């Protein structure tokens, strides 16, 4: 089995290591030629998860057509804002009417596209076609822990049960348990929405508001996520599972969560731009609070927490005033 991993950031590096540990031949696409060169020469990614050492089965290239042309499955792990352009660059190999139009493709990126309000699989379906072969993976899966073989579980969602089980078998190990789900919309919306809630929880941590406040933000954030999911036709039970509650807990509480860390930094006077420049990482929640806000407005869904995070990141709103306003909202039944 040969697998292409599209993206050489932390999550891409971790999933390439997992696949390598199972004995698969792995082809990594790295946007930066120097990262690809380093992987080929030293068997390490010099920028992300530098403790990982790959076997000789893992090679890398910055030529995406080369990476995907001779594999059996494609795993996409690029930032959500780059999914469409990356898919376009693979179209002449993977698109309908081309040589590999039936190749299974799974997306690990989490988000909603600005302008179209498409989920990540919607983008792949539009660009590459053949929706039946496309899947999404989401769950409480910090790359740092996966890359150390620590116990984790996740969910693979797809329209086709066969494709869902194919990818479940591809990723499953004795430390990485994989469940399947047919609620593709719910799984993807959970993955995008929890990042916004994590920023709010990071802000609460930075302001020293305590555990009660953080638990309240997580709970009401989940309710907000579920309202939007219901409007989009998602299964409410998905929000109680790994892609929903599971991922929400870890993203809002973990030391590894870049979205929670962004919120804490903003609460202490930092900025989104400075955070991303310092970490060399995209905080997906900063993108999602824009795109989920847009989607919610289209669907007529009330998302006060998302709106608050947007105001704090992009409108220089006073953090304490925003938190006070959230607490002062009219009383209502839970």
- Which pLDDT does position 333 carry in this prediction? 83
Q: What is the pLDDT of residue 157?
A: 98
The DSSP line for 118-172 is -BHHHHHHHHH--GGGEEEEESS--HHHHTTT--EEEEEEESSHHHHHHHHHHH-
Chain center to CA of 323: 26
299 part of the active site: no
For the chain, list the domains and their CATH numbers.
2-184 (3.40.50.720), 185-327 (1.10.1040.10)
Catalytic residue among 110, 194, 214, 293: 194
The helix or strand, by DSSP H or E, that contains position 283, with its residue range, turns out to be none
Cβ atoms of residues 139 and 155 within 8 Å: yes
What whole-number distance in Å separates Cα of residue 106 and Cα of residue 127?
14
pLDDT score at 11: 97
State residue 27's pLDDT score: 98
| pLDDT score, position 118 | 98
Residue 177 burial (10 A CB sphere; 0-12, 13-18, 19+) = middle
Q: What is the pLDDT of residue 66?
A: 94
Residues 6+ apart with CB under 8 A from 274: 265
Which among 251, 246, 225 is positioned nearest to 236, based on CA atoms?
225
What is the mean pLDDT for each group of 10 consecutive residues in the chain (334 residues)?
97 98 98 96 96 97 95 97 96 90 96 97 97 97 97 98 98 98 98 97 94 95 97 97 98 94 93 87 90 97 96 88 80 84
Residue 290's CB is within 10 A of a number of other CB atoms, namely: 17
pLDDT at 332: 84
pLDDT for the residue 24:
98
């Amino acid at each position: 089995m040969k697998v292409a991993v599209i993206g050489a950031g932390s999550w891409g590096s971790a999933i390439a290591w997992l696949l390598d540990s199972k004995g698969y031949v792995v082809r990594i696409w790295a946007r930066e030629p120097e990262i690809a060169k380093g992987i080929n020469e030293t068997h390490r990614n010099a920028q992300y998860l530098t403790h990982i050492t790959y076997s000789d089965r893992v090679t890398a290239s910055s030529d995406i057509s080369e990476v995907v042309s001779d594999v059996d499955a494609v795993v996409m792990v690029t930032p959500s804002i780059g999914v469409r352009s990356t898919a376009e660059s693979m179209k002449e190999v993977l698109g309908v009417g081309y040589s590999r139009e039936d190749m299974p493709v799974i997306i690990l990126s989490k988000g909603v596209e600005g302008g179209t309000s498409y989920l990540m699989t919607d983008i792949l379906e539009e660009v590459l076609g053949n929706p039946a072969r496309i899947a999404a993976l989401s769950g409480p899966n910090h790359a740092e822990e996966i890359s150390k073989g620590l116990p984790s579980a996740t969910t693979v969602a797809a329209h086709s049960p066969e494709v869902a089980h194919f990818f479940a078998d591809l990723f499953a190990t004795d430390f990485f348990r994989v469940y399947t789900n047919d609620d593709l919309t719910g799984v993807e919306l959970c993955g995008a929405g929890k990042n916004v809630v994590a920023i709010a929880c990071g802000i609460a941590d930075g302001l020293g508001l305590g555990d009660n406040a953080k638990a309240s933000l997580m709970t009401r954030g989940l309710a907000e996520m579920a309202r939007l999911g219901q409007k989009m036709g998602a299964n409410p039970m998905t929000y109680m599972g790994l892609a929903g509650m599971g991922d929400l807990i870890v993203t809002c509480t973990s030391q590894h969560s870049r979205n929670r860390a962004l919120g804490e930094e903003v609460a202490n006077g930092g900025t989104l731009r400075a955070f991303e420049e310092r970490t060399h990482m995209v905080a997906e929640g900063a993108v999602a609070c824009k795109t989920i806000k847009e989607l919610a407005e289209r669907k007529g869904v009330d998302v006060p927490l998302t709106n608050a995070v947007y105001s704090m990141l992009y409108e220089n709103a006073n953090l304490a005033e925003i938190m006070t306003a959230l607490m002062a909202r009219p009383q209502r039944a839970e």
